[in-house]
Structure formats: C-alpha cells, structure tokens
Amino acid sequence: MRLDDQRESDNLEDRRGDGGGMGGGGGLRLGGGRLGLGTIAIALVASYFLGINPMTVLSMLSGGGGMPAVEHSAPPAHKPPADDQMAKFVSKVLASTEDTWTDVFRANGKRYVEPKLVLFSGMTPTACGTGQAAMGPFYCPGDQKVYIDLSFYRDLKDRFKAPGEFAQAYVIAHEVGHHVQNQLGIADQVHKAQQRASRAEANALSVRMELQADCLAGVWGKRTDTMKGVLEPGDLEAALNAASAIGDDRLQQQAQGRIVPESFTHGSSDQRVRWFKRGFETGDMNQCNTFQAARL
C-alpha cells in the first residue's frame, strides 16, 4: 500500500506495556451475572480455533443477547512512539477509515462519530470485559473502540497464510465496519433479535452481521483507493486471501477436521470473499444489506 503521504489518526491509543487486567472493574459481567474463568476459557477457545466472536459466546453462555457495557478502569491513554512503524501503519489505515466513513455518512445526512483504536499486549480492560490477545482483533460497542494486539498480524501471516499490508488493513476495516453498524443502529437490532432466537438462529444472524462488516470493509477499500490511490498490484488479492483464510469452514476444518455449518458465526471462506468483493466493486454501502440477501 502507498501510505507514505497519508495522514495519521488522532484516535490511536497505545496501552502496550500497561499490564492489562480488569483494573477496578473486577470480573466480567454480562446480563447481570459474573462469568467464571471456565466460561471465559470456553469463549477464548471458540474464538481462537473457530473464529467465533468471544463476546458473542460469552453473551450466549450468560443468557444475554446484547453486549452491555461493564464497569472497567482503562489505563491512561497515550500515543505510540514516533518511530513505531507498525503503529504508524495502523494509524494511517484508521485515518483512511475516518475519511471514508465521514464522507459516506455526510452524503447520507448523518454524522460519523470516529472510533478509537487501542493497541494492547496480552490483555486489556474494555467496556465488554477483559480483552485477550487470543480473541484476535475485536470491536466493543460499549466503549466504541477497536482493540488489536499487533501479534495477530504474525498469526495472519504464519497461521492463516495471509501476508501483506492490505490484508492487515482489511482486518482494521472489518472491525471499523462493526463500528459503522453500531452507529447505524444495526448492531443493537441484531443483538435484540439474538435474545429471542435459538442458538442456530443467533449464529445465522451473526454470520449476516460479519459478512456485512466484510462488505463495508470492501466499500472502504474501494473509496479509499479512488480518493487516494493507495493500492498497489497484488493488494486486492492479499485482502481476498485474508478473507478466505478466516472463513468458518476453513478454520473448523483446521481445528477439528470437520465442518459444522450450523455453528458458523462469521461465514464461509467463499461468502467472506464474495461480500468483500461486493463492497469493493461497488463502493456503495447500500449494496451491503446482508440481512435482505436471499443468497449469502
């Protein structure tokens, strides 16, 4: 990606080296009850091996459908070192999402509230509970922040065989896509529907939610490249490879040697590629309505 002359975001928060933990909040609470370490461990295993959003697992295991804010004490916010090239890359990608979605929201008569992006190591307190590196990157609607332990990019390259800067940028854009869903009220509607749904129905809603975030990431990619010419040959292929690598079917096959479609929460490799491409080819957020799509 050509990012040398691109601006950096003012919304990057560096918590690496702050020690993590729950701070003054103490324990993860969802749906009014405390979840034990065994429950959290289940969520982490599901997240790491099956690509399941750990917050979704925790919510379902606790009997809740949404992701209410929990008490937490975040470390003081500070900026990353000026010579940290990976942090600078993340900051520039985040800035490009800010520019894209500010323009899109304005064109639709809405105001875009920019999310924060938190860099952490190991674990960190969030409004959705303790964030763990094993969860992979995630978005917490309770505090409107994207969280990422940069060691995930090593996993993306080595474990998922998806190297490249645009693949790394796609990961950020996908999580920002969840922030867009939160801003538009989509996330809240889905979580309320999941409260009334069976486990299989809740999973199906999660798939549509995740595929929409993939599509929104594609919209970001198209509009950012149109405005700023940031893509180089091979970049699009890198993002498509990343989308394919983290499909539920591929992750389940790797983890357990079999595929269980009714347990999908993010979509198959083909579906993730298809919806990212749809967003990238059209650059139109209105083409990302996975909830009305007859075929995913």
Q: Other C-beta atoms within 10 Å of 157: how many?
A: 15
Q: In the chain, what is the straight-line distance between the N-terminal and C-terminal CA atoms, in Å? A: 29
> In this predicted structure, what is the pLDDT of residue 182?
97
- Domain positions in the chain are 12-292
Instruction: Name the residue among 198, 184, 219 with its Cα closest to residue 291.
Output: 184
Q: Which amino acid is at 76?
A: P
For the ranges 72-81, 93-102, 164-173, the lowest mean pLDDT is seen at 72-81
pLDDT band at 35 (very low <50, low <70, confident <90, very high): very low
The answer, yes or no, to whether residue 192 has pLDDT greater than 90, is yes
**From CA 122, how far away is CA 148, in angstroms rounded?**
10
> In this predicted structure, what is the pLDDT of residue 113?
98
Mean pLDDT, all residues of the chain = 84
Instruction: Name the residue among 184, 110, 120 with its Cα closest to residue 146.
Output: 120
| More reliable by pLDDT, 168 or 73 | 168
